[in-house]
Structure formats: structure tokens, C-alpha cells
Amino acid sequence: QVHLVESGGGVVQPGRSLRLSCEASGFTFSRYAMDWVRQAPGKGLEWVAMIYYDGSNKYHAESVKGRFTVSRDNSQNTLFLQMNSLRAEDTAVYYCVRDSGGSNSPKFDYWGQGALVTVSP
Amino acid sequence: EIVLTQSPATLSLSPGERATLSCRASQSVSYSLAWYQQRPGQAPRLLIYDASDRATGIPARFRGSGSGTDFTLTISSLESEDFAVYYCQQRTDWPRVSFGGGTKVEIK
């Protein structure tokens, strides 16, 4: 059974940093691309970042480019999101997502329970 | 950038009724469209991918259709657990994806 468990969320001041982790189990982690998707309180879904199965390529949304970095450790079945220079508008629940889609095929088939990040003075 | 517009924003229906949700893309996305369900306090769940393929474990009452710019998610007979928010998603600018604003299906 596929499980994705995020950790590392919390309250942080603007301008500070936070690192989210996502521990994966129940599937061969190293065979799948992984994404981060966030959801601000009461709002819709926003894609944040994606990393290839082997970590060779990484992509970030324009809203976080230069501040957030996605990475992974396949030996530990863990996905990371390093968030620097945090802003109030980064306040959201961050979901770790397994990406089973190919090019031109969105298919986020498993989601974690989410980690709440609150950026506040 | 392709924009997905979902309508209506809110759909008020009774259990047993049919729900028809729309997702319109600002330009063609071919069949590159997925649907997700999000119940209150829960993570989204994949329902449909490639416009019409049901994900593993999704009941047959959920049906996706459409191509190009116009897509529909139909729930043939609403059950209590179907009252939730539904999002469409496209990926034509690999690997970036975008989501529609959502449709809330509420109990009338």
C-alpha cells in the first residue's frame, strides 16, 4: 500500500527557511517522478515543483523559483522541499505527490496528508 | 499559459441526482486532463486521467469525457461521500501542471 508522509511543517517568520520531507513507502520510490503541490487556506491547488525519478531534472513554479528547491534521496525513499526567503503568500498546506503521468499526461495518483506551513511574524 | 475554467463554482444537488461538472481550457489540451476529488480536511484523490480513464478503485458512477478545450465530469447518481470539491488539471507544458479553480458539489 502506497504511503506518503510529510513532515517539517510549522510556523516560521517571513524571510526565514524551512525544509519539508516526505517519506515514501509501499512502492519503488526510485522509479517515479515526484511533485509538490500546495493549497493556501480556503483556496485551490497550485503546483510547486517536480523532480525526475533519478533526480536528474528539477522544475519549479515561477512563484517559487530561486527560493524553493526540490530534491530527493532514493536510498532513503525521501523527497524534500527546501524553502528559503519565505513570504506570507507561501502559507499553505504542502502535499507530496507521486507523479505517474508521462509527457502531456497529468496523473498524480497518490498524495500525502499534507504539511501546514504558516509564514507569519 | 493555458487556463482551466471550471463551472459552475457550486452545484447544489440531492443524493441520487446526476452531477455534471465542466472544465474548459483556454486552448486545446488534447486529452491531457485529469480530475480530482477533495473531501473536507482530506488530500485530493485522483478520479480520472487522460480525460476519460478511471483511476484504480474509482466507482463506475464517475465518468470523464471530452477533448480539446471542453471536458465534463459526470457523477451518475450522487452518494453522500461524493459531496466534495472537484478539480481539473492539465499538463501540456511538461512537466508543469495547472489546475482549475474547482467546483464544489454540495447537498441541496
At A11-60, the pLDDT tens digits run 999 999 999 999 999 999 999 999 999 999 999 999 999 999 999 999 99
- CB contact under 8 Å between B99 and A45, yes or no, is yes
- Report CA A15 to chain centroid distance, whole Å: 19
Strands (E), chain B: 4-7, 10-13, 19-25, 33-38, 45-49, 53-54, 62-67, 70-75, 85-93, 96-99, 103-107
pLDDT for res B96 = 87
- CB contact under 8 Å between A104 and B33, yes or no, is no
Suggest the residue from A1, A107, A111 to mutate for an interface test with chain B (most B CBs closer than 10 A). A107
Nearest CA in chain A to B58: A109
Q: Note the pLDDT tens digit of each residue in B40-98.
A: 999 999 999 999 999 999 999 999 999 999 999 999 999 999 999 999 999 988 888 99
B-chain CB neighbours of A65 within 8 Å are none
- CB contact under 8 Å between B56 and A109, yes or no, is yes
pLDDT for res A46 = 97
A34 has a chain B CB within 8 A of its CB: no
